A and B are shown apart, each in its own frame.
Chain A
Amino acid sequence: MVSMLTVDNLTAGYDEADVVSNVSLNVIEGKITCLLGANGAGKTTLIRAILGLNNIRAGLVTFSDKDISSWATHDIASEGVTCVPEGRRVFGKMTVLENLQAGAFLERNASVVMQRLKQVYDFFPKLEERSDQLAGTMSGGEQAMLTIGRSLMSNPSLMIFDEPSLGLSPLFVKENFRIIKDINEKGMTVLLVEQNVRQTLEIAHFGYVLSQGKIVASGSVDSLKNNSELRAAYFGSA
């Protein structure tokens, strides 16, 4: 098992306060690794620190054997890390097509971009139908699709999903998890950050549980399912 992304004793936060401290985790190549935690556990802070959107106080982030701890966000992206951001942040005043083109910003070869566009359209036929529509006028579920398609356009080697089920209707949540599973089955390495424990554990291979800024449980999904603390905290039974 090769670890594609390794976080080693990372501490990060805002102003004076450390939000996450001494967090270590591995994202295994070709697998879905999930990061579970309640609101305020520090999931988003951790992801932002990995992506270079927040400063890292201490610790190391290694991606494909490169130390990316102090890299700028756009340089991390050019290494093949992409993030489907929380809250379906599409470029609302751009068309669907332009959003997808923005996703492939780093690819200068137009024919390669066209090829990827075709793949994304094959995966999400709805996006092709809506290619000229302003992204901001689409429904929440369609925007969620678009953010995933946009990330795929960069031909990433690691996809980070930041709370993809947040604010979606149950039907779309289910659909979203199915899509993530599909993408992974085609070989993509995934780091899935979620609150939705039950459905996340259905598709993930490995997991970490973050609570008050610290990793409190980790291991294979099967071991997590049987972890009594986790069961107590999230499933309501010991």
Chain B
Amino acid sequence: MDPGFFAQYLINGLVQGITYALVAVGFTLFFGVLDVIKFSHGDVLMLGAFTALALFLGLDQLSTPAWLSLTIMLCLGVIAMALLGALLCKFLVLPLKESPPLNTLLITLMFGSVIREGVRLFFPNGSNPKPFPALLPETSINWGNLNLRLDSVILIFTGAMAIVLTHLFIQKTRMGLAIRAVAQDEETARLMGINFNKTVLMTFALGSGLAALSGISTGLYYQEINFSMGLMLGVIGFSAAVVGGLGSIYGAIVGGLLFAFLQTLGAIWFSVPAYKDVFAFTVIIMLMAWRPTGLLADRSAERV
């Protein structure tokens, strides 16, 4: 293949892969500390993107410069979803801790529908796709067949930074130690003086904030968002987390990048882009059959 085309696919795939990895890290964190699957994760991502859009519409009225708008949208969007994640955990997930995991799965699935339908009904003209402002610099350089957009580079860099910071937070800080301790042995962690509920809330806030970042990145990249965008991204993020090994952060990153790679490969082979997801999911299903506990996790799957 022409190296220009190859590089183009690689860059596009990386943008996608980082987005998926951000979602997958959330799934893996929630499962790590609480053994739950939170199926409203994709819808929280979507709400993060819509929150940012609403903020933009307001800031635009005040003719705020683009970089300032973007900073405010990112910060407030991420913080708002982190709060929502913590509230969701406190009122819907933690109270169900002693009940069967299926209940948590169902209640978060339903909560996701509430968010989704809420946006569709109450966001002005919410059932139609919404243009998302192109706030990143639009410059690009052409290099043979490669059209390197600066916004792609920024998105890859930001996403990768977010994942690296999350990793450092979990490995190097006191709160991160608490998260790892809770993930490995909840009761012993509590005996060490670690506040279990606080740690779990913190983890949900962290994962949900990453989902908001992922949603806003998606908006900035495609310059369009819609109320159901979280469904597909949620399923992809979940698959990525599972195929990498639920509970492992490295697994989530590998899973996210792998899914994007498979989509790209599918798009190249079949030359009909619609088949790319069919191809990617088929391979993921085969991988799961081959390695049921994930590529990077052993039987006693490492938690966070």
Please report A residues at the B interface, Cβ cutoff 8 Å: 51, 53, 72-74, 77-78, 82-83, 85, 89, 91-94, 98, 101-103, 105-106, 108, 150, 154
Contacts and interface: CB of A to CB of B under 8 A. Distances in A.
B184 A77 contact: no
A73 B191 contact: yes
Contact of B188 (A89, A93, A98, A106): A89
A82 B191 contact: yes
A103 to B, nearest CB: 6
A74 B187 contact: no
Contacts of A74: 190, 192-196
B191 A94 contact: no
Interface stretch (B39-47, B172-180, B203-211): B172-180
A85 to B, nearest CB: 6
25 contacts: A51-B191, A53-B187, A72-B195, A74-B190, A77-B190, A77-B192, A78-B193, A85-B188, A89-B185, A89-B187, A91-B184, A92-B184, A94-B181, A98-B177, A98-B180, A101-B177, A102-B192, A102-B194, A105-B177, A105-B178, A105-B193, A106-B193, A108-B174, A150-B192, A154-B192
A53 B189 CA distance: 12
A105 B189 CA distance: 9
Contacts of A92: 184
B303 interface: yes
A108 B302 CA distance: 27
Contacts of B174: 105, 108
A85 B187 contact: yes
B171 to A, nearest CB: 9
B190 A94 contact: no
Interface string B235-264: 000000000000000000000000000000
Contact of B190 (A53, A93, A98, A108): A53
Interface string B197-240: 00000000000000000000000000000000000000000000
A93 B304 CA distance: 10
A92 B181 CA distance: 10
Contact of A93 (B189, B191, B194, B303): B303
Interface string B260-304: 000000000000000000000000000000000000000000110
Contact of A83 (B184, B189, B191): B191
B293 to A, nearest CB: 15
Interface residues of B, number: 19
A102 B181 contact: yes
Contacts of A93: 180, 184, 302-303
Given A91-B184, A105-B177, A154 B193 contact: yes
B170 to A, nearest CB: 12
A17 to B, nearest CB: 17
Contacts of B187: 53, 73, 85, 89
B198 to A, nearest CB: 9
Nearest to A91: B184
A108 B189 CA distance: 16
A101 B180 CA distance: 12
A89 B190 CA distance: 12
Contacts of A103: 192
* Complex A-B, nearest 7 residue pairs according to Cβ-Cβ distance, in ascending order: A77-B193, A73-B190, A106-B193, A91-B184, A89-B188, A74-B195, A105-B192
Given A89-B188, A102-B177, 5 more contacts: A78-B193, A89-B185, A105-B174, A105-B181, A105-B193
Among A91, A98, A101, the one with the most B-chain Cβ atoms within 10 Å of its Cβ is A91
Contacts of B193: 74, 77-78, 105-106, 154
Contact of A77 (B180, B181, B191, B302): B191
A61 to B, nearest CB: 15
Nearest to B198: A74
Interface in B145-184: 174, 177-178, 180-181, 184
A94 B196 contact: no
A118 to B, nearest CB: 19
Given A53-B187, A89-B185, A105-B174, A94 B180 contact: yes
Contacts of A83: 191
A154 B193 CA distance: 9
A53 B187 CA distance: 8
A51 B187 CA distance: 10
Nearest to A48: B187
A94 B184 contact: yes
Contacts of A73: 187, 190-191, 196
B190 A105 contact: no
B184 A105 contact: no
B297 to A, nearest CB: 11
Nearest to B171: A98
